[in-house]
Amino acid sequence: MTQTAAYSVDAFIDDVREIFDSTEDALAQASGVAKRMELLLATPGWLEERLELPDEGGYGRYDLHLDEDYGHPGGGFWLMASVQKPEQDNLPHDHGAAWVVYGVYDGAIKQTKFRWFYPGEGVDSVQIQETGDFVQGDGKVAFFLPGEIHNTLNVTEGRTDGRAVVVRLESQKLDRVTRYQYNPGEGTMVVMDR
């Protein structure tokens, strides 16, 4: 990972606010935030300055910033970090009307994308199927737009505890939007708990 001079969390948050002020287009917002997150992830030590994470373990979610004034589709964008257990699997899900940017601070996650297929697209009945996957390692950023379905799996290797540290910006805190979790094997979806 290339390291750059100090780009702070506060500068990142200011840039995110400016992005929300400059456009209402979800794609432009998500791609702009993703570019800024790459800068943030290339700055050494910023997460350790915000959180007191142990060298191993420390699994769970950590609040970095909640902004009630800016966001998409409404106010309430949330910057957080999650420390994921080895092989932690989040199951296929979407983010409702919100978009989310994922950046890997340490470790690696595999992102798998899904979509619904309909008769005439090589299937006899409506079903959800995998469409591809990719691995994000240290410093890599990806975003998912409203309605996109994906799954995140910790695939970190070479660490004794196998954890992955992921920074995520939700365009609106996800407990405020209706979103769904999918079971491709059964072709079902359920509303996720808020």
Query: Please, what's the largest Cα pairwise distance for the chain?
Result: 55
CATH number at residue 63: 2.60.120.10
Residue 3: per-residue pLDDT: 46
Q: CA distances (Å), 176 to each of 63, 71, 101, 193, 194, in order?
A: 16, 12, 17, 10, 7
Is residue 89 one of the residues assigned to a domain? yes
Identify the band that residue 160 occupies on the pLDDT scale cut at 50, 70 and 90: confident
Is residue 47 one of the residues assigned to a domain? yes
- Please tell me the total count of domains within the chain: 1
Residue 194: per-residue pLDDT: 63
Question: How far is CA 61 from its chain centroid?
Answer: 12
pLDDT tens digit sequence for 8-53:
999 999 999 999 999 999 999 999 999 999 999 999 999 999 998 8
Instruction: Assess whether pLDDT exceeds 60 at residue 75.
Output: yes
Structure tokens at 114: 């899904």
Residue 6: per-residue pLDDT: 82
Is residue 1 one of the residues assigned to a domain? no
Is residue 187 one of the residues assigned to a domain? yes
Closest listed residue to residue 151, CA positions, set 123, 184, 193: 184
Is residue 3 one of the residues assigned to a domain? no
Residue 2: per-residue pLDDT: 44
Question: Are 115 and 128 a contacting pair, CB within 8 Å?
Answer: yes
Distance CA 194, CA 191 (A): 9
Is residue 148 one of the residues assigned to a domain? yes
pLDDT tens digit sequence for 121-142:
999 999 999 999 999 999 999 9
Is residue 107 one of the residues assigned to a domain? yes
Question: Are 128 and 114 a contacting pair, CB within 8 Å?
Answer: yes
Domain that holds residue 36: 9-191
Question: Are 179 and 73 a contacting pair, CB within 8 Å?
Answer: no
Structure tokens at 132: 């591809």
Is residue 23 one of the residues assigned to a domain? yes
